A and B are shown apart, each in its own frame.
Chain A
Amino acid sequence: MTVRDSLSVSLTVGAYGVAFGAASVAAGFSVLQSCALSLFTFTGASQFAAVGVVGAGGAAASAIGAATMLGTRNALYGIQMAPLIRATGLRRLAAAHLTIDESTGVALSQAPRGTAAMRLGFWLTGSGVFVFWNIFTLVGALGAKALGNPASWGLDAAVPAAFLGLLWPRLENSYLRWVAAASMVFTLCITSLLPAGLPIIATALVAVVVGWRPREVKQ
């Protein structure tokens, strides 16, 4: 069961790599750079953000800033996974690199089957996503390179659509949908005030302001 869960998640998520490879090439990265991002950054939303900011005409610092902020949640995952994995040395480095949404999610979902299943779920899903994500990144990047002008094939619309697809499952309740809508309006409002790319990072302020105080739950 753990093996089946891990493999199905790995294949499904890995296939998103096609969208990333295509988005990356459409933003001006080479095939090699796109593959390097998938191999070494290996955290999907951050990779999409880095190429998204560059594609929007943003500076390198803005791209790195947006990607890094999106990557902070992996630290929280690591804190949850470390006591479970108990790896040292090189295995700890490998475990850290494979600490992403999916490996953590599958590991936590295996809790009813015991810690051995959780550990197996983490390693299988992490390495499975790693393999498929990198293969499909190469496929997407080569495909986009062969297609040429991004607008001619709708790749310039595929990128925001992919972001919307990544955002959608996170909008679990009306409160989170409200935060998303406020963030979109905020970005559009400051778009003409800041250099390209910076409005994306500045929108993290919405998360800081909204999350500063505990939410009052009304019944």
Chain B
Amino acid sequence: MMWVVVTVTSALCFAIKLFGHLVPERWMAHPRLQRINALIPISLLSALVVAQGLVLKTHIAVDHRAVGLLVALAALLARAPFPVVVVSAALTSAIVYHLH
């Protein structure tokens, strides 16, 4: 299954990039397409934040990961750089995990 994800994802993502280099500009100029395309990363990344941080299989679970996520949020609000955000979240989560 993992290799299927690796190969198909790679093939499709490259096809999308190449498509952009080959099509005439007007094809993608439709304002609706542009608006939706600009919002998709925001929706999907938001979904991934909660699906990875607050969900276990198919139910909501507030555990050590949620504490880590809160610390990440605090770090971002304090304008911390990306590595600090990730490492501080990991450290906090690991501590809470071991306390339980």
Measuring CB to CB, which residues of chain A are less than 8 angstroms from any residue of chain B?
15-16, 18-19, 28-30, 33, 36-37, 40-43, 45-50, 52-57, 60, 63-64, 66-79, 81-83, 85, 87, 92-93, 95-97, 99, 151-168, 170-171, 176, 179-181, 183-184, 186-188, 191-192, 194-197, 199-201, 203-204, 206-208, 210-212, 214-215
Contact = CB atoms under 8 A, between A and B. Distances in A.
Given A56-B55, A170-B41, A188-B54, A96 B17 contact: yes
Given A52-B51, A184-B46, A211-B39, A63 B28 contact: no
Among A42, A161, A163, A192, chain B packs the most CB atoms within 10 A around the CB of A161
B42 A165 contact: no
A19 B96 CA distance: 21
A207 B17 CA distance: 21
Contacts of A83: 25
Interface in B25-80: 25, 27-28, 31-32, 34-55, 57-60, 64-65, 67-69, 71-73, 76
13 contacts: A19-B86, A53-B48, A56-B51, A56-B55, A74-B20, A82-B20, A83-B25, A96-B14, A154-B64, A183-B43, A192-B60, A206-B43, A211-B36
